[in-house]
Amino acid sequence: MAGSAALIDYLRNRASSWIYTTGLSPADTAAALAAVQIIEKGQALRSQLWQGINQLKTAVLTEIPQVSEASSDCDRPLRLLPSDAAILCLQLPNPGAVLQASQQLQQQGMFVPAIRPPTVPTSRLRISLMASHQPEQIAALVRALCQIQI
């Protein structure tokens, strides 16, 4: 290609025939191949993930009182926000409460980040489940949610 430096730079960064000719590094290639193998065998992992999601949703709804309820087992009213994914959010009343809850969970070895406005409309704990989470770990999370002090 002959042209000005600006034209050549533009084409180098915008022309699909050029962009997609760059070969993957060996590490990227190995990661892509491993991902394909996981996807091919993934039905069991997807099933395990959905079992964990359902376990957590059920436990939150039955063991942790929702905002309008009261319970003798757990006095931390939270609101489970709607989700059809492996990311579940529990709404708390304000940014300070959600930060405290997240820090307390982290002290127990659980990474449950606090997400606050303006990123989202309401303060919430974001729980990201993986297929590798075991039922005991999910149960421990629910127990820890009941024990947070806000």
Q: Could you tell me if residue 31 is inside a domain? A: no
What is the side-by-side strand order in the sheet with 87-91? 79-80, 87-91, 124-128, 114-115
Residue 105's domain is classified under what CATH number?
Answer: 3.90.1150.10
Q: Could you tell me if residue 2 is inside a domain? A: no
Q: Could you tell me if residue 110 is inside a domain? A: yes
Residues 6 or more apart in contact with residue 55 via CB below 8 angstroms: 135, 138, 139
Overall domain count for the chain: 1
pLDDT, position 66: 63
Count Cβ atoms below 10 Å from residue 145 Cβ, excluding itself.
24
Which domain does 107 fall in, by range? 40-147
Q: Could you tell me if residue 11 is inside a domain? A: no
Q: 55, 133 in Cβ contact below 8 A?
A: no
pLDDT, position 70: 46
Q: Could you tell me if residue 142 is inside a domain? A: yes
E strand or H helix at 124: strand 124-128
C-alpha–C-alpha distance, residues 141 and 10, integer Å? 51
pLDDT, position 149: 84
pLDDT, position 74: 56
pLDDT, position 19: 59
Q: Could you tell me if residue 13 is inside a domain? A: no
Amino acid identity of residue 20, one-letter, is Y
DSSP 67-99: TT---SS----BEEPP-SSSEEEEE-SSHHHHH
pLDDT by residue, tens only, the chain of 150 residues:
788 998 888 877 777 666 566 677 889 899 999 989 888 887 888 899 999 999 999 999 888 866 554 443 455 568 899 999 999 999 998 999 999 999 999 999 999 999 999 999 999 999 999 999 999 999 999 999 988 887
Q: Could you tell me if residue 75 is inside a domain? A: yes
C-alpha–C-alpha distance, residues 53 and 136, integer Å? 13
Q: Could you tell me if residue 135 is inside a domain? A: yes
